[in-house]
Amino acid sequence: GDVLTGQKVFHVSPFLERAGQYTFRFDITDKRCGIWINLHTDAGEKQLTTALTGHFAPMSAASLRRAFWAYPLVTLKAITLIHWQALKIVAKGIKYIPKPLQLMKKITTTGDLTNS
């Protein structure tokens, strides 16, 4: 799959400094999609790993209704789990990092960003 890297320039978490390098890995076929994101410190230490995988399915009004009713409280569950994890992190004594001032007012790019 494709791999992209980029400097961390946004404040993403109140428990991680705004520093480091992201690695994004994509494995996409006709039927499946996998996306993995790793954050490494400037010293090269892996600090965060996350992934999202799934399969493609046709989208229609009926399939959206089925997905909604199959997982009616998924948003509430996600918000609850995010806050639960934050409480566990605070309980471990990890330092809270307030949002710093943004380095640049606008971060934009144009053009082809693929590795061709």
Asked if residues 39 and 8 have their Cβ atoms less than 8 Å apart, the reply is yes
Percent of the residues in the chain that have a pLDDT greater than 70, as a whole number: 89
Q: What are the pLDDT digits (tens) for 33-84?
A: 999 999 999 999 999 999 999 999 999 999 999 988 988 888 899 999 999 9
How high is the mean pLDDT of the chain?
89
Cα 49 off chain centre by: 9
Closest CA to 36 of 4, 78, 75: 4
Q: Which one-letter amino acid corresponds to residue 1?
A: G
Asked if residues 22 and 5 have their Cβ atoms less than 8 Å apart, the reply is yes
Domains of the chain, by residue range, sit at 2-91
